[in-house]
Chains A and B, each alone.
Chain A
Amino acid sequence: MAATHPNKGGISSVQVPDHTRDDEWSGLLVRVGRDRDRRAFERLFSHFAPLIRGFQFSRGGQSSAPEAADELVQEVMFRVWTKAPTFRPDKAAASTWVFTIMRNCRIDALRKSNRQPATDESLNVEDIWDDSQDEQPLVYLQQARNQHAIAAGLQGLPPEQSHVIEKAYVEGKSHSEISEELGLPLGTVKSRVRLALKKLQSSISR
């Protein structure tokens, strides 16, 4: 839960429940996309930049230098500006949409640092991690509420399960990397992930 106040700067100081806040970020994203509204964008920046930095910093060990985090913020928010016209508030919560952009930026950065041969650079990250939103509106109308339920569900997971979930999402580690790092059999990592997902799924279908 966003128990601590994520608002720096320009955000309204009134504390409102999370799902309403999600609507607020969605509304700002729509304004950025439709009107190229810079004030709205600045408020999004003040909200998401510290979260992106926080996400990056909690990655344990690797590349958590402030410069790397700053670079990530610049790249993610640049793409947020560019892609805002494609954001559809009825299809995804604002934070999920920003997450997918951040994930893609990190994949790009990782590829650059691994120096994939330039001649072979055929597909780009968005061909594979396509974040354009599909055309199945009705099913996902409750997206923001789902988001809220998932956040609550994550809080309720047993520590050994939330640990592997965070390692995958925050640190970007594959199951086999997690298994090596924690000294657990791969099967154990897999079953923890599956159990966690089952719980999260039941938390939204309730």
Chain B
Amino acid sequence: MIHHHPDNNLLLEYASGSLNWAHSLVVAAHIQLCPKCAAQLKLLNSVGGSLLATATPSASLESSEPDAFGKLMQRIDRQPDKDEEQCAGSGSSALPLRDPIFASVPPVVRKLLAENPVLQWRRLSRGLKEARLKTGQNEREVSFHRIAPGSKVAEHDHRGREITMVLYGSFSDADGVYTPGDFLVREPGEVHRPTATQDQECLCLSVVEAPVALTGIWGKIINPFLSIKPQ
């Protein structure tokens, strides 16, 4: 059961296409797991549909293109339907997917894994590993965080807004317990200390605006590149 959702403002920014790429990615991952937000997205898409349907039509005559439809049909004839092609390309099952921790991630994360077949895990502190992800933008850091069972993450504060979504296992902090699908926003200046539950490792997807400042003793990056074992 998902208890923590993106708010209506974020969902509307996502639906209208005005939310940045990295945040949209996490919102999409949440929506794919959350029927409630998926239903809300329908409403928000319909708002866009209504605005389009009631736009003041701008006559084709003003167009700089005299035969726009003919031009389009030429393009269509030149290019036979090949919408399936893209799917074929990503068929190779990515290595990390064999790890059970990734077994039930939502489709957008699966795609992200396919595009990042080699995850470079680096240890941030005891019990906490991070792998940065290429997502097609570089304004924000998108990464997986893995917390070992029962581990406490070093207390840290956020210089920029941090959005986290749980993908596997669970963790808790002073405000509650978070399970797969839960979506959390931490504003700059908020300090917290997440702890993974005892019996399970925890995997999260997170987006950070500016690098997180680790404030405690474990704040040093000890071992930058620990590769995941393939099998």
**Interface residues of A, Cβ cutoff 8 Å to B:** 1-2, 4, 6, 8, 18, 22, 38, 42, 45-46, 49-58, 66-67, 69-70, 73-74, 77-78, 81-83, 92-93, 95-100, 102-104, 106-107, 111, 116-117, 120-124, 127-130, 134, 136, 139-140, 143, 146-147, 150-151, 154, 165-166, 168-170, 172-175, 177, 190, 193-194, 197, 200-201, 204
Contact = CB atoms under 8 A, between A and B. Distances in A.
A99 B55 CA distance: 11
B8 to A, nearest CB: 5
A70 to B, nearest CB: 5
A151 B51 CA distance: 7
| B-side interface size class | 35 or more
B57 A96 contact: no
Given A57-B58, A120-B134, A120-B137, A74 B68 contact: yes
Contacts of B48: 96, 99-100, 103, 169
A83 B86 CA distance: 13
B49 A96 contact: yes
Interface stretch (B110-118, B122-130, B149-157, B191-199): B110-118
Main secondary structure of the interface of B (DSSP, over half): helix
A116 B137 CA distance: 6
Main secondary structure of the interface of A (DSSP, over half): helix
A168 B116 CA distance: 32
Nearest to B26: A128
Contacts of B136: 111, 116, 120-124
Interface string B60-80: 101111001101110110000
Contacts of B55: 51-52, 54-55, 58
Interface string B1-40: 0000000110011111111110011001000100100110
A69 B112 CA distance: 32
Given A70-B68, A82-B81, A83-B83, A1 B54 contact: yes
Contacts of B68: 45, 49, 70, 73-74
B45 A92 contact: yes
B41 to A, nearest CB: 10
Nearest to A107: B17
Interface of B: 8-9, 12-21, 24-25, 28, 32, 35, 38-39, 42-60, 62-65, 68-69, 71-73, 75-76, 81, 83, 86, 107-108, 111-112, 115-116, 134-138
A201 B97 CA distance: 39
Given A99-B45, A150-B46, A168 B60 contact: no
Nearest to A166: B51
Given A123-B115, A154-B47, A172-B16, A194 B72 contact: no
B43 A201 contact: yes
Contacts of A18: 53
Contacts of A103: 15-17, 48
Given A121-B136, A168-B13, A193-B9, A99 B49 contact: yes
A190 B13 CA distance: 11
A55 B51 contact: yes
A46 to B, nearest CB: 8
18 contacts: A1-B54, A6-B57, A50-B60, A53-B63, A70-B65, A78-B76, A83-B83, A96-B50, A99-B52, A100-B45, A111-B21, A116-B137, A146-B43, A150-B49, A151-B50, A194-B9, A197-B43, A200-B43
